[in-house]
Structure 1
Amino acid sequence: MLEIRQATADDLDAVRQLLHDTWHATYDATMGVEVVNDITARWHSAENLSRQLSDPDGCFLVAETPDGIIAGHAGAVRQAADVVCLTRLYVLPKLQGDGAGTALLTAVTDWAGQGVTIELEVETANTPAIGFYRRHGFSDDGRQVQCGGDPAAGQAIVMKRRVS
């Protein structure tokens, strides 16, 4: 049984490794290894993750297995009283499909609260993630953006779901 909990500073190295591994498994074929290395070095640096962990408007969760492995991570930030941005949700490739992603998304939704719209960006070639979010009630709002505002990261679609 996974434990979904707020991350601590002690989890940051494991979260960085999880993000590194999942980004390479997900994006090497579409973006290339060098681009993925560059993005993960910048976006998932110890400094950035530490800042996000301590953001008073943020939610920084991990999914931990009974044997202490960080199997997944979700991050979100409240942008307005009624809008939360899901900034990331990743599960170790070997554990995908076992419920960690759903459990993390449920925890973020609970944190966001009722009456809130959750928004996210998902890279257009990441069809498994797009399917995951659609199965969980998210819909494409018709916008395409540069993923994370970073030209190196490619195009993303914006998806939304209202929490009721």
Structure 2
Amino acid sequence: MFFVRTASERDLAKVSALLGETWHATYDVLYGVDKVTELTEKWHSLPALKARLARKNAEFVVADSGKDIGGMGYAAMSETRTKTAVLHQLYVLPKFQRQGIGREMFAELETCFPDAEIMQLEVEPQNRQAIDFYQAHGFVKTGETASCGDAQSGIPAIVMEKPLNR
């Protein structure tokens, strides 16, 4: 049984490992081991995770069983769009997927931004499992980008949004 809680600095090594494992399981077939390793080392390093943890107007959660960190989620208010929260990450270890962990973390993150009217995210176009998950939670495609995450990633993404009804 997992419960969702706010992440702390002591969780970050496990979160980094979780992100490495989930990224390789999901994206190696699409981008190759080397590209996934490069992005993981950049985006999921301890310094990168510490910066997210310290960011204001953001929420960083983990799914914790007391023994394992089975998932993580991170969202923050947009720095460029008003009243918009951006879901940057929502990942569950492959061995714990399809147990409701992603749903529970998403439900928590969705309530953390009372001033937001929209939640936005980017998702890899070939990641059908993630797209299906987000559509089931009310997201619709609103656009596309050629570089998900940062301008140099070279990873295409679908942009999806969901109204946050208060």
TM over 0.5, shorter chain: yes
Q: CA deviation at 1:91?
A: 0.1
Q: Show the counterpart of 1:131.
A: 132
Normalised TM-score (structure 1)? 0.94
- Which position in structure 2 is the counterpart of 1:53? 53
- The root-mean-square deviation of aligned C-alpha atoms, in Å, is 1.4
Q: Is the 8 A contact 1:31 1:153 kept in 2?
A: no
Partner of 1:76: 75
TM-score, length-scaled by structure 2 = 0.93
Contact 2:3 2:64 in 1 (8 A): yes
Partner of 1:76: helix, strand, or coil? strand
- 2:62 maps to a residue whose letter is V
Contact 2:12/2:50, CA 8 A, preserved across alignment = yes
Q: Distance in 2 between matches of 1:137 and 1:12?
A: 30
Instruction: Report what 2:43 is aligned to.
Output: 43
Quick check: 131-140 or 75-84, which moved more? Answer: 75-84
Quote the Cα distance in structure 2 between the aligned partners of 1:148 and 1:115.
Answer: 21
Alpha-carbon contact 1:5-1:61 (below 8 Å) kept: yes
Partners of 1:146 and 1:70 lie apart in 2 by 29
Instruction: Report how many residues are paired.
Output: 163
Aligned to 2:104: 103
Normalized per residue, the structure richer in strand is: 1
On the 8 A contact 2:146/2:154 being kept in 1, the answer is: no
Change (3 A) 1:137 1:103: same
| Runs of at least 5 residues in structure 2 that lack an aligned partner in the other structure | none
Considering fraction of residues, name the structure with more helix.
1
Task: Provide the residue aligned with 1:28 in structure 2.
Answer: 28
2:13 partner letter: D
* Bigger shift: residues 108-117 or 30-39: 108-117
The answer for unaligned runs of 5 or more in structure 1 is none
Aligned residue type for 1:40: T
SS at 1:60's partner residue? strand
Q: Measure, in 2, the Cα distance between the counterparts of 1:117 and 1:146.
A: 21
Q: Determine what percentage of the aligned residue pairs are the same residue.
A: 36
Aligned residue for 1:112, secondary structure, equals: coil
The Cα of 1:150 is off from its aligned counterpart by 4.2
Match of 1:162 in 2: 163
What is residue 10 of structure 2 aligned with on the other side? Answer: 10
Aligned counterpart, 1:86: 87
